[in-house]
Structure 1
């Protein structure tokens, strides 16, 4: 049996050769590992250094590893939030030629946490609500692309800060299936599963004394079903409007954009009597503001972060002398956007100490600086400006966060 590494890029395979594949993962030496919070898993999982990156290594059977690797690559192609697949390692032999389980390797999602780590201090109900909102959005996005998760739970999800909300990422695709379109029964199975799993996971936290007394596990488990249903209905329902009210279609599209989704294809049909028009969004893509920010600035951010950064960009652009909407002689939006990145965004973020930038997403840092500016301006009853807000944040807020 020969050690074989199937990787997404040649540099990954070369870096992975330095890891001790001849040793069971549970016994890997500390110098290879990174101490990061791990969620609950039925498999042995460790975080390791390789090629300047932090990778998650999971021991699992070969068929399951290869299948999950392929599914994660499919989800990446479909731009669904999930961990990035890096490689599958097979042909491992231990001491005396004893076969060892293959390994699935994914890239550690910077700034993310498993839900149990987030409950180390008793979490307020409002924060639990935001986690469930993020999970509902993730499940809807998976179902829109035809992915039946089969094991949707808090345990199989990672959460990242996204402005004042959270973004959810799929971690475990082992039980998933990708099809062209899901039936109502397949979606209902996932929804019922997530209801039961969340109620059970919250009950475990309750038994451990890590759940706020006002959080009812059964009620919160049922609420995610309602949240999923409301979002799915908004994204997929058919609307019927009076024929003379075509602007209602634009209003519906703007509503979907506000939720963070783009309408990539639509079906519009006039009634036989000609008095009404039916509108049905056929394909809905998530990440409306993410794509807009990426197109204008090259910055990659979570959806809510992108919305906040775009608002700041538009406010800044309006103050520039060469910005003249509708005037072809004025600077194009793309030119101004790159100037904003260079002169405002990067300059501001660089003031924050390197150790903070190393563990936090830079878009989240900028969002927090904008929030601090708003807070100080409210106190002063005037706009204190970004420079003063950054100075106060670094001097008075960061030291408390590091304690």
Structure 2
């Protein structure tokens, strides 16, 4: 080994960012194994790498004992005192045992260690770089696909897009440029693995941050997102500034801002609604474009409510295959039951009838006798009683 090795380590540190000290430490550990493997030695050895000259030395480490039981691991106190009178029992002495041809083995081992460390360093660099993009969006190029994944080139690494993270209305072809949401970055035995998504709700959040400066600056806040990827989404927004309309800001002049996002998501419909700290108003806004007459909260469940809409708005409020109601429930976190005005009127009538029946069934004969009637009702009752008595007399005769 020579100064050429030191120069190579310096260049490696400068180009790849691999610390020279880390490589030397790994090299010394590898050379210990290489020495024992090639020379069949079982003694304790250490390898030292001279960072000034690039030379490598192998030392056998032996413990000073009164009586030697294993000459490869121990040295007698008598022999130790001949080396240095200061040695005592329990001390360790290093004896250089560097073989003459160890340079060739060291060079081969160094090559393997350096290549391994370079690969590990490159993996760490890539992992650190892309873990910084976790929960953010990146633009990539579709390269290929198999039965499990679509592989997206992000530059230094190939990310994977699983089937559940794909949008059902999209077809991906090689060389297509797409924006993806970096869902997670994991370390694996084969290097960093980046998982991306096109269906994640937070993809919408990041796209709005790109298109709407007020969202990026925090003036307009996205409170909640409910998304059925590729079909329809609802976004609840709130403005920190009373003078700014959050919905209009996100829609943009002539709908340009939201249209850019719709185009990126291949025509996915967007409902942008205003968040309100009053749950009734918030739920009514979430069911947009349907009109809401009333919101009745369930007294037994704080997260359930019944929404009353005009008869002609019922189908609009529910939406195709229940989509509008389903997204509104996801957006607000409430279980929403939608009823028309006529259904609610019938419901109230039935409840009133049930209430009257319960009251009537609970009344006793004394309750009927004690009931107060007006003059007309009293005369009618007297006539009915007289007729009933006459019929009883006729039957008796």
TM over 0.5: no
TM-score in terms of structure 2 length = 0.19
Greater Rg by CA: 2
